[in-house]
Structure formats: structure tokens, C-alpha cells
Amino acid sequence: MRIATWNVNGLRARLDFLRIWLQERSPDVVGLQELKLTEADFPFAELEALGYRAAVAGQKAWNGVAILARQELTLVECGLPGQEELGARLVSTTVGGLRMTSVYCPNGKGVDHPDFPRKLAWFDNLAEHLSTTAATAGSAVLCGDFNLVPEPLDSWNEAGLAGSLFHTAEERQAFARLLGLGFTDLFRRLHPTTQAFSWWDYRGGAFHRGQGLRLDLILGTAPLVSRLRTAEIDRDFRKKRQELVPSDHAPVMVELE
């Protein structure tokens, strides 16, 4: 079973890119983030033609998350209760015995910005919500763009960026609370000392200069950890394809027995 997550940075702009990726990689279940469109504008028919059903929590021009699956999926919830003001940032389904949740966590904008404490409150609500639902029981995945670097190894410049957005102790404590619910960072499980990134700024040649951050994660519960075979960041799809402009994020994939 191949599970993936990808912040597409605008599905309208990236639909052809997504189509090529689905055909080449053939994931079974995919969490998408930053759709920037509503459910009414979601390309259900185009994706169904490729063999994928979808559950969507959309929002006009901002945010938006979805889950694609090659088999029947059941929508469990859209949105994080108590955090509706911050937009469409969570969708959860059941598919093939798996509880799959895709999240687009708030950015925070800056440690001195009013959105930063809102970001931390959103993470608190997420942890509280997951602790009181079935989302951490059995075979469960929590994936998406977490908008933080879990540890120094996940930043190209921890020394220079420590204490700044994505690199604060408060954000890492929020992430650690999620792990404390029974989740494991599946990429880090197989690659404990590898420095690898999933996001690179479009500006300044950051991708080619290796100036990235690992923001996109797939977390899994214990039954999935025991089945884990591979975990990778699909850097090839951060590169241009002919005239198609990629997202600033690369897909992340894991394969389970």
C-alpha cells in the first residue's frame, strides 16, 4: 500500500502536474493540501477518470484539503472543531481499514505576528481533538503540511534560523504532543540521520542550492510502523515538467506491506 501527501499550492495550477504524478507513481491513498478552491470547483470527474475517488474540504482561494483513494472511501469529518475561523484545514476518511487524515496546518506568518499564537492554539485543538476520537486508534495516518520543522536536522540552516518561524520551541513542543498520542514520523523512522527537505522557496534558487525545510510529513500509528517498508521525498516532482510549473513542495510517500 502506497500512501502519499502533497501540498499542491493551488490545484487549478497544478492539475496537469498532479495527473502526471498519479499516473507515474500510482499511490493508493493521497492527502492533498492548499487546494485553493471550493468543493464545487474540485475536479472530481478528471480524477475519477484516473481511478481516484475524493473527499474534499475546500475553500475559495485559500487553504483546502482533500484525500484521494483508489478504492471506496468514507468521509468522517471536514474541519477542525473550534477552529473554523482559520479555514478548511482538515479532512478525515476511512479507506481500506485505514483512518486517513489530511491537514494543512496554519503558517503563523512570524513569531511576532498575531497569527502565531493562533497557530499554536490550532495545534492544541488538533491534539485535543485527536485524543478524543478514533483517529489515533488502530491503523491511522495523519499527514500533510505541518508548517514546522520537527527537529534541527529538518532545516537547511538551523543555526541561523533557530527561534524563527517553523523553528521555535513552541512549535516543536506542539508537534511532540502529536507524537505523544501514538504517532510516529514514518520518514524519520527509516531515515533517522538523513537531512532531506520537502519545501523550497521559489526565490533565490533555493531548490538547486539545497536551502529547504522538511515541512510535509506522514505520521502513522504503531500497526503501520510494523508494516513500513520505504519512505521517500519525491524530489523529481519539485522540478519543472516541460512548461508545467511545480508546487514549491515535493510529494512525500511511504510504502507499507
Digit-coded pLDDT (tens) for 175-226: 999 999 999 999 999 999 999 999 999 999 999 999 999 999 999 999 999 9
Q: Is the pLDDT of residue 134 over 90?
A: no
Q: Which residues share a beta bridge with 155?
A: 213
CA dihedral 15, 18, 24, 25 (to 10 degrees): -160
Residue 137 is predicted with a pLDDT of: 87
Domain ranges of the chain: 2-256
Kindly report the CATH class assigned to 2-256.
Answer: alpha beta
Digit-coded pLDDT (tens) for 61-83: 999 999 999 999 999 999 999 99
**Pair 54, 42: CB distance under 8 Å:** yes
pTM: 0.98
Give the residue among 126, 106, 102, 104 at the shortest CA–CA distance from 54.
Answer: 102
Distance from C-alpha of 234 to C-alpha of 5, rounded to nearest angstrom:
10
Catalytically annotated residues: 104, 145
CA separation (Å) from 190 to 83, 163, 172, 228, 239? 33, 27, 20, 8, 25
Residue 19 — pLDDT band, cuts 50, 70, 90?
very high
Distance from C-alpha of 38 to C-alpha of 61, rounded to nearest angstrom:
8
**Pair 33, 17: CB distance under 8 Å:** no
